[in-house]
Structures are given as structure tokens and as C-alpha cells.
Amino acid sequence: MDDSEDYLALFFTECGELLGDLQEQLDRLMDGDRDPELVNAAFRAVHSVKGGAAAFGFDALIGFAHVFETVMDGLRSGRLALNSEVVNLLMRAGDIMEVLIEQARDGAQVDEGAVARVRQELEEMTGRSPADETDDDGPAPSAGAAPAPAPAAAEPEALEPREVVISLRPHDDFVHAGHDPLRMIRAARELDLVAAEPFGDLPPLSDLTPEGCPIGWRLRFETDRPVAELRDFFMVYEHIADLEVDDPWIANPPAAAPAAAAPAETPASGPALEAFDAPPAAAAPPAAASGGGGGGAAAAGGEGKEGGRHGPSKTLRVELTRIDRLVNLVGEIVITQAVLAQKLSETDAHTALEVGHSVEAMSRQTRELQESVMAIRAQPVKSVFSRMPRVVRDLAEKLNKEARLVLAGEHTEVDTTVIEELAEPLTHMLRNSMDHGLESPDEREQLGKPRTGTIRLAAEHRGERVIIIVEDDGRGVNRERVMEKAVENGLIGPEDNLPPEEIDQLIFHPGFSTAKEISSVSGRGVGMDVVKKKIQALGGRIHMRSDPGKGTRFQITLPLTLAVLDGMTVCVGDERFILPLSSVVEALRIEGERVEILPDRSQVLARRGEYLRLISLRDTLGIGDAAKREEMAIVVDTETRGLVALLVDELIGQRQVVLKSLEANFQRVEGVSGATILGDGRVALILDVPSLVSMGGLARAPMQEMIH
Amino acid sequence: MSDMMQTQPAANGLAGQLGAPSPEEAPAAGGRLKQYVTFLVGDRAYGVDIVLVREIKQWTPTTALPNQPHYMRGVLNLRGTIVPVHDLRARFGGPLTEATETHVVVIVWIGEQTVGVLVDAVSDIISVASDDIRPVPPSEADLDQSAINGLVNAESGMVALLDLKSLFGAVRGIA
């Protein structure tokens, strides 16, 4: 039981990946790329979903995937023409498939109407050119030429027990597509399979490939099940194996079955399965059928070769907890190594020199080890980005807006924990852009903008951080409305005169939604504050810049990993603190630098012609009255408020630190992003520069550092 | 401070008893028996359910956190994890404990979190029947009342049983 649950989880994970691939291929097709391999790859993705779904009996998904796959098959064989209209349909079909997968996984609600619509469109596509249905898999039965009246629809629930023999000859990519003959045969047992006889020749051992399946099976059923049931079971294998069916009921149906009265149900199915559907007269004599099958096998072999598999990069699925254990262990090694180095520096010079080289080498290796381990956890953001086009399409439909999502930097790699947590805030932000940002097409036209709005979702590495940008070319933040709302909520007084940038930031307050009407899309008070919280929980920050009439730009800054950080150690009083190196601009000795005092008694530091706000870490962090030296100023980048200078007593140096959470056993502390353990075993706090600065800012004059 | 010498054996004894067949299970006259670790702050004895005590550690200087209540003494490194330490004396309105090497940090579990409590010394392990736990007499100033689950009359005098969650778990709310 557990086993099958594991498989189920694996299936859904795989579905996620397959849908991501599908999306990518369809995107490229949408862009006009007509590489046949794209269609092939998309076909494989749909087929694999279908195969998995069949193994677990997700009927709705199987049925839809089957129709989808038939269209894809038609496209890859050139029977159906590929144009942008078709790609559009395929994209919607991909969306529906994703919905159905969600339904299979969490029992999510499904808009049956939408499923049926898309399904019908897909069926119409294949129905449009039934005469071309002949497949290169082999000569089509004569009945394949026209939608055959399917006896399946009219047949009774249970038939007389009979013997049905189905030969299944896997194509080369059978195993590659995720099918497992053993599982298939086991599953077939449920359908009264009584014997499975292999046929075909095993090649010599030296030619045997683990991925190939050189033999086929003759599956003998003794069953009273309706034809349709067997057909449904084998539908999965239709494009991936040659199937021959010998069912006496098809060959010689009871007179009672009013075959002709049945409506054509699945004119789209491939040739082999049409044997199920074909009226008795059309059932090929066994000899001819097996001849056709042989030809099919040859053709399929050729196709398999020229189709050329995308050499997938070799991957290994490892449970995340195992990697975490490794990451933690490496973290401990880094600390121990630092302890060793420190201890060594305290011993006599001679020994230090001798051992020093080894320690240095070890330190290099440790660092390398750490990087490799961290790289295991890294994943391209693509896996979350690829879900977003669907979000935008769905919303565009719901909101009657036209929008185009442009993705950039999908290959940027981020820690997998970060990736998992990103989907929700990103979806939220896209909703926000679609709902509040973009104007309706008519409105845009009046404003002289293109009817279709553009939303850009981009990721890039910047030092030790990842920047994610969500940008739209909509109307920007309605500042008047935000002010009104903020006054209404008592966030600010009516007389408060905020600079525009600060007004914009108000939208990050809890319960803040400026949508005039609560829509089902966004607004209802769950908004940007949730996004901000989520991002902060990941050790990141979010910043928004709005240009009225031109658009809004959200910038999320995230740490590359949640485990290590390059830091600068500084000393204030008896305490040591770590400043993330990524935010440190430079360190200045305060003497000789000019410190000016403003009328409100706050201070600024003159630095190459500009003035920087001075913030005393001692006061901000409430450190006692140990000898007040404050001789160094560390200029840091706050990302949102430009540069500021932090006053510290002493600069100790640079080092890599292992991030430890304060929240695990305590809570979030303002101004601190985490802690680390120093070489001597003591804990040092890692400072969060932007929140530190806002603490100082909020405290105004009394908290400002005074230098006399 | 000869109490200090007792803490190590007490800690070892703890480990041994934790592994032993649980005394709680044994039905006893006067209700179920439960074991409590008791420790001292000044003359006052406090008790904590032994199941919640993870270990007992000698005081080492902590790293202060900014803008915390005064009884929050900062954090320490417990074999790689960061653990907050609260000063029990200060938590009950007393002055900050002038911690020295003879002071003890009792590491306890509060829900899923591991938290340290700074006390003067660990004194004993006592078995208490649930019927022997007396309620705290009501009073006007109920601020700290909720922090005490009940009172027990042990051989050495009265022991106040702590409700760790309401004492230190509540800190979570402050941000």
C-alpha cells in the first residue's frame, strides 16, 4: 500500500515536470519555432501523463489525455497542420490537463464545461480530417477511413464469457515513456488475464539495452467484460506499442447488438484500436492483421530512431531530507574548521606555520564540498515560472483582459526550498498585476497603449542573491486611492504628507486592498502583505516601484541559499555581528571623515560629495555602555533607501558563516535575519540591513547617534 | 555554591530515569505519579515535568538579542542549534540573575521549541501524585498566576510547578 502511495507521489511529481516541459515546448511552438522535435517532445509528455494516469485509474485524466495525445500524434505525423490557432488550443489543453491532474491529486474543483469545450475542440480537430487518419504504424483497416459506427456504445454491460487475445508489441520507446511491462501485466490481471505469453527474439546479451523491450506479449483474457473496458485499458499503449486484437465478440457479435444504431464514439482512435470499434465485416482476417502488425513494428522502429530522443541529462531522485542532513553536516564541518583555524592561530608560530598549510587546504576543500552540496539543492526557477503562463491565461479569460507573460532567466538556479515557496507569492503578484495593474483592452487603446498588456517575470543572479522581477505596463498604483484607504484604516492621519514612494509601500500593509469591488481574483484583503510575509520568511525582501500610467515593478530579492552566507564580522561592545557581504559597500574609518549634525540632531556622514545617514548599531541594538569607540563606519546598501553608514567599533574581517534560524526555537527578531556560530562556539547575530535601517529611521532623533 | 556539584549527577540521573519504565504509568494511591525536576531561584523551589526537560547545562555567556524583554538573556549555542535563554528570576519580576559558572540553564521543550531557563541550581527529582497538587490560591494580581500550574508540599518545602508555555511560550507574540 505504502508502495503504491509512493508511486502516486512520484507520478504527481513527474506530472509537474512533464507539464513544465510541455509548457516550454508549446511556448516555443507559439513563438513560431517549428522544430519537429518540439512536437515529438510535447507528444511524449502528454503520453507519459496518460500512461501514469492509467496506472492509477484516473479516468477523467486518461480520457482527456488520450484525445490530446491523438491530436499531438496527428501533428507529429504531419496529418494535422500546425498553426498558431492550433498551438493556442494545445496550450489550453495543457491547462486543462493540469487542472485534471490537480483534481486527481487533491480533488480540486474542475470546470467541467471548460474541459468538455476543449475536449470537443480537440476532437473536432482530429475529426476534421478523418480520411487522413491512416497512421504510419501500418495499413489502416478499411473501417478507419470513416467514423465507424461503434458497437462499443451499444453493447450490453456483460457479455458471454469468451476468450480475447491481444498481442502487444512494444515500440522502442515503450520503457522510456514510463511503461513497465510487469506493471501492465499485473494490472491486466484485474481484467481477467489468464495468460501472458512472450513472443519475439531476445538479442544477444551484448546488444541488449536496458531501455529497450525486445519482446512482445500475447495476452489471453477469458472474460465477460465489455469490449470498451479492454479498449480503455489498452488505449494507453496505442501509440507506443503495436496492438492486435482478436476478440470473438467483434468478429462475431451476437445478433442482438444493434451495431449500426450506435453513434460514432471515438473516430479519433488509432488503427489498432479501431479493431475494437470496427464492425465485424471490417475486422481483418488474422493473417492480414499480423502482416500489418509486422510492418508496423518495422515502421515504428524506424520512427523511433529518426525521432531521436532528447538525451535527458541524468538525474537521480533523492529525498530532500537526506540532502538536508548532508547540508547540515557540511555546515558543522565549516564551523569546526573555523575553530581549528582559530585555535591554530593561538599556538606558537612554528607549529602554526607547519599545520597552517594543511588547514588552509582543508578550508579550500571544505568550501568546495559545501558548494557542491548546495548545488545539489539548487534548481532552476523554471519549475515555478512555467506554471505562471497558465495563471495569466486563466485570469485574462476571467477578467476580460489581454495579457502576455514574458519570462526571462528561467534557468537561474535557486535553492529548492526557496523555489517551492515561491509559487504562491508569484501567483499572488501576477493576480495583482492582472487585476489592479493592467487596464482593460479598450481602456489601453484609449491611452495609446497596445491592447495586450505585457507582464514580465524575470530572474537573475546578483552576487549571493537572486532577484526576481514582476513588472507590468499597466496603470501603476492609484496613490490617491491608497491614501484614502490608508486614512480610512487609520494607518496614516489625513494630514500626513507622504512622499509617493512611501505611499506605494503602504500596499504591503495587512488588509490593504484598493480594488473598488472585491473581485474573486484578488482583493478581499489578502494581498501584498501575505506576499511580503512569505518573502521575508524566506530571508528575502520585496520592493515596489510604481510609475503612474506606465506600470508597476516588484522586485524580490532572495538569498541564493538558506544555509550559508558570506559575511563581514564587525564588533560593537563585546558583541560580534555579521553583516551580509552582499550589502556591504565599503568600510571607512570615522576620523578624518566629516560627520555633520542636522537640526534634528541626527547625523550624516560626508562621503565623496554625498551625505549618508549615520546609524549607530550600539543604539539600534540596545548594546550597553561598554567603552564607546565607534571608530568605523560600514557603508551598506539598503536596496530600498540607498546607502547608509553603520557605526561600529571595529571591523574584524570577512568569513563565510552558516546560517542558523532564530525562529526555530524563538521568534523573528527585528533587525536580525538569523544567527551563526563563531569559531569559539559563541553565537553571533546576522544583521538584516534594511530592517535595521528602518528601526533607526522609526526611532527618529532620540535614537540617532550623537557624536560630540 | 556546592549545589553546582549536584547538578551533574542529577543530570545523569535524569537520563537514566528517562529511559527507565515510566513511573507515570504505574497507578498509585492518590492519583497518577509524575516526576518533576526541581530547581532553585533564591530560596524558592520550582518544578518542571521531567518529560519536558531535555538537559541541564552550565551557564555560559549568551549573545544578547536586540529589543527583547529584560528577562530574555539572549541565545546560546546548543550543539549547533540556537536556543534562547530566559532568566526565571527576572521573569518573576526579580532583578537579573548575576549569572556565574555555578548557575544552571535547564533546557526544556516547550511544544516544538527548545528553550533554556536560567536558574540558580538544580536541586532534586520528586515524584508527585496528581492528587497532591494544590491549586494556587486566587489573587488580584493574576499576571504570574497562570505561570504556575499548582503547588506541591515536598519534603524540603513548597515547590511551585511551572507552566512553561504561558511563561515563555507567550514570548512568540511579541515582535
Which of A362, A379, A396 represents a domain boundary (last residue)? A379
**A278 and A338: one domain?**
no
Distance CA A155, CA A276 (A): 12
Is B137 at the interface with chain A, CB within 8 A?
no
Sign of CA dihedral A440, A441, A443, A448: positive
Interface test with B, best of A571, A666, A691, A698 (most B CBs within 10 A): A666
Query: Which residues from chain B sit within 8 angstroms of residue A661, using beta carbons?
Result: 82
The shortest CB-CB distance from A665 to any of B64, B67, B114 is to B114
Nearest CA in chain A to B113: A665
Q: Which chain A residues are closer than 8 Å to B64 by Cβ?
A: 575, 622-623
B 34-63 → A contacts, CB under 8 A: 61-63
Contact A670 B66 (CB under 8 A): yes
β-pairing, B148-154 with B53-58?
A: unpaired
Query: A136 in a domain, yes or no?
Result: no
CATH number of residue A584's parent domain: 2.30.30.40
pLDDT bin (cut points 50, 70, 90) of residue B173 is very low
Q: Are residues A506 and A375 in the same domain?
A: no
Tell me how close the Cα of A227 comes to any Cα of chain B, in angstroms. 57
**Interface membership of B80 toward A (CB under 8 Å):** yes
Give every CB contact of residue A268 below 8 A, 6+ residues apart in sequence.
A67, A70, A123, A126, A127, A133
Q: Which class for A584: exposed (0-12), middle (13-18), buried (19 or more C-beta within 10 A)? A: buried
Please judge whether B80 and A335 are an interchain contact, meaning their C-beta atoms are less than 8 angstroms apart: yes
CB A168 within 8 A of CB A217: yes
Q: Which of left, alpha, beta for A535 (phi over 0: left; psi -120 to 50: alpha)? A: alpha
Give the list of residues 6+ apart from residue A458 with CB closer than 8 angstroms, or none.
Answer: A407, A408, A409, A468, A469, A471
Cross-chain Cβ contact A623/B64 below 8 Å: yes
List of chain B residues whose C-beta atoms are within 8 Å of the C-beta of residue A660: 80-82
Query: Could you tell me which residues are beta bridge partners of residue A635?
Result: A586, A645
Which of helix, strand or coil describes residue A99? Answer: helix
Question: What is the arithmetic mean of pLDDT over A220-244?
Answer: 76
Exposed, middle or buried, A48 (CB in 10 Å: 0-12/13-18/19+)? buried
Count up the domains in chain A and report the number: 5
* pLDDT (mean) for A53-63: 82
Q: Please report, for residues A198, A439, A500, the alpha-carbon distance to residue A549 in angstroms, rounded to integers and kept in the order given.
A: 70, 10, 14
Report residue A517's pLDDT band, with 50, 70 and 90 as the boundaries: very low
Q: How far is A431 from chain B (nearest CA, A)?
A: 30
The answer to whether residue B36 scores a pLDDT higher than 60 is yes
For A339-384, write each residue's pLDDT tens digit.
787 777 777 777 777 787 888 888 888 878 877 887 787 888 888 8
Q: Identify whether A161 is part of a domain.
A: yes
- Same domain (yes/no): A554, A650: no
Closest Cα in chain B, distance from residue A115 (Å):
45
For the segment A144-158, the average pLDDT, to the nearest whole number, is 43
Q: Among A332, A672, A681, whose Cβ lies nearest the Cβ of B65?
A: A672
- E strand or H helix at B90: helix B88-91
Pick from A559, A594, A615: which residue ends a domain?
A559
Residues A326, A260 within the same domain? no
Is B172 part of the contact surface with chain A (CB cutoff 8 Å)?
yes
Which CATH number belongs to the domain containing residue A94 in this structure?
1.20.120.160
Asked if residue A708 belongs to a domain, the reply is no
> From the DSSP assignment, how many helices (H) and strands (E) are in chain A?
21, 22
Which domain range does residue A219 map to? 142-307
B166 touching A, CB under 8 A? no
* pLDDT band for position A149 (cuts 50, 70, 90): very low
Cβ contact B64–A675 (<8 Å): no
- Do A54 and A32 form a contact (C-beta atoms < 8 A)? no
Domain for residue A135, yes or no?
Answer: no
Chain B CB contacts of A338 under 8 Å are none
Whether residue A295 sits in one domain with residue A177:
yes
User: Would residue A137 count as lying in a domain?
Assistant: no
Q: To the nearest whole percent, how much of chain A has pLDDT over 90?
A: 6
- Give the model confidence (pLDDT) of A67-120 as tens digits: 888 888 888 877 888 887 888 888 888 888 888 888 888 877 788 888 888 888
Assess if residue A117 is contained within a domain: yes
Is A671–B66 a contact, with Cβ atoms under 8 angstroms apart? yes
Distance CA B68, CA A702 (A): 19
- Chain B residue with Cα closest to A328: B80
Q: Cβ separation of B82 and A664 shorter than 8 Å?
A: yes
Domain assignment of residue A312, yes or no: no
Chain-chain contact of A682 with B61 (C-beta, under 8 angstroms) = yes
* Domain shared by A396 and A491, yes or no: yes
Q: How far is CA A57 from the centre of its chain?
A: 25
Is it the case that residue A598 has pLDDT exceeding 90? no
Residue B113: its chain A contacts at CB < 8 A?
A: 664-666
Domains and CATH numbers, chain B: 3-173 (2.40.50.180)
Task: Give A-chain residues touching B79 at CB under 8 angstroms.
Answer: none
Give the pLDDT confidence of A621-638 residue by residue, as tens digits.
Answer: 887 666 667 778 888 887
| Chains A–B, number of C-beta pairs less than 8 Å apart | 75
Judge whether A198 lies within some domain.
yes
pLDDT at B88: 93
Question: What pLDDT, on a 0 to 100 scale, did the predictor assign at position A472?
Answer: 92
Contact criterion met (CB below 8 Å) for A672 and B65: yes
The pLDDT value given to residue B73: 93
Q: Give the residue-averaged pLDDT of A496-515.
A: 73
B147 touches chain A (CB under 8 A): no
Last residue of a domain, one of A265, A283, A307: A307
- Grid cell at residue A48: 507519459
Q: Do A301 and A338 belong to one domain?
A: no
Within an 8 Å CB–CB cutoff, is residue B66 touching chain A?
yes
Candidates A616, A620, A660, A667, partner chain B, best to mutate (most B CBs within 10 A): A667
Of A622, A668, A683, the CB nearest to B77: A683
Please, which pLDDT band fits residue B50 given cuts at 50, 70 and 90?
very high
pLDDT for B12 equals 41
Pairing label, strands A575-580, A683-687? parallel
Q: What pLDDT shows up at residue A468?
A: 93
- Cell of residue A608, nine digits: 565623496
| Separation in Å, CA of B54 to nearest CA in chain A | 14
Residue of chain B nearest A620, judged by CA positions: B66
Facing B83 at nearest CB: one of A331, A665, A670: A665
Question: Quick one: A176 and A278 in the same domain?
Answer: yes
Whether residues B175 and A671 touch (CB distance < 8 A) is answered with no
Across the interface, which of A667, A670, A685 has its CB nearest the CB of B171? Answer: A667
- Examine the domain organization and report whether A109 and A148 are in the same domain: no
- pLDDT per position as a tens digit, A436-471: 888 889 999 999 889 899 999 999 988 767 899 999
Å between A420 CA and nearest CA of chain B: 23
Give A623's contacts in chain B (Cβ within 8 Å).
64
Q: Where does the pLDDT of residue A505 fall: very low under 50, low under 70, confident under 90, or very high at 90 and above?
A: confident
Whole-angstrom distance, CA of residue B41 vs CA of residue B53: 17
A89 phi/psi in degrees, rounded to 5: -60, -40
Residues A348 and A217 in one domain: no
- Are residues A90 and A36 part of one domain? yes
Is the ipTM reported for this complex over the cut 0.85?
no
> Are B77 and A623 within 8 A, CB to CB?
no
Same domain for A576 and A555 = no
Query: What gap in Å lies between CA B28 and CA A628, rounded to an integer?
Result: 62
Q: What confidence category does residue A168 fall into, taking pLDDT thresholds of 50, 70 and 90?
A: confident
Q: Does B82 contact chain A (CB < 8 Å)?
A: yes
Average pLDDT of span A523-544: 73
